Amino acid sequence: MSFFDSLRPDLQLIADWIPAGSRVLDLGCGEGELLAWLQQHKQANCYGVDFDVNNVVGCVKAGVNAIQGDLEAGLAEFEDQRFDHVVLSQTIQAMRHTEEILLEMLRVGREAIVTFPNFGYWQNRWQIMLGRMPVSDDMPYQWYNTPNIHWCMLGDFDELCAKNHIRVLERVVMTGGRQVNFLPNLRGSLAFYRVTRG
């Protein structure tokens, strides 16, 4: 089965938030799995940006328009409100200019979808109590080789949104591909936010 037919649960949740025919920009798009699925199943007009040129080549092979670019430099090549949805999946914690990229996403898009590993997940807390930096499926790196430089919990991201007058439209938390509703900051390993300008 090709990735055109099915998506990982985290990408499927993102895809479910995007209506048919949308204009979508995926930042840190990898090889374009999400965008290829959206093009095939929702007739979306998709565009990707990734730092790794090999990922851009993978996008092209999958039939996805993509460019190589450094997100830290901003999104100046895109005009205001060009997209309906701008996606940043499991990347924001690896960016130096977290607040700036979030604002840029909402400059070029009507809505932003941001996902990140929840540092408040109980297994992460437990590993810290044992004197070790957390390592998990959602945070698979050791402390000395991780690209992740900003850790946050649900409340931290809520606070960042409030500070910048960003309205949270939907928030979902997952663990192991399943949604968590009870004690999400403690029991959820991956957070999903759909936001817009307040």
Could you write out the DSSP letters of every residue in 141-190?
A: S-TTT------B-HHHHHHHHHHTTEEEEEEEEEETTEE--SSHHHH-SE
Task: Identify the bridge partners of residue 192 per DSSP, sorted by sequence position.
Answer: 115, 172
In one letter, which amino acid is 192? Answer: F
Q: pLDDT in tens for each of the 198 residues of the chain?
A: 344 578 999 999 999 999 999 999 999 999 999 999 999 999 999 999 999 999 999 999 999 999 999 998 889 999 999 999 999 998 888 888 999 999 999 999 999 999 999 988 888 888 888 888 778 777 777 877 776 677 889 999 999 999 999 999 999 999 999 999 999 999 999 999 999 998
| C-beta separation of 11 from 42 below 8 A | no
Residue from 70, 44, 42, 43 nearest 56 by CA: 70
- C-alpha pair distances (Å), 192 with each of 1, 49, 54, 85: 26, 20, 27, 14
For the question of whether the overall pTM of this predicted structure is more than 0.75, the answer is yes
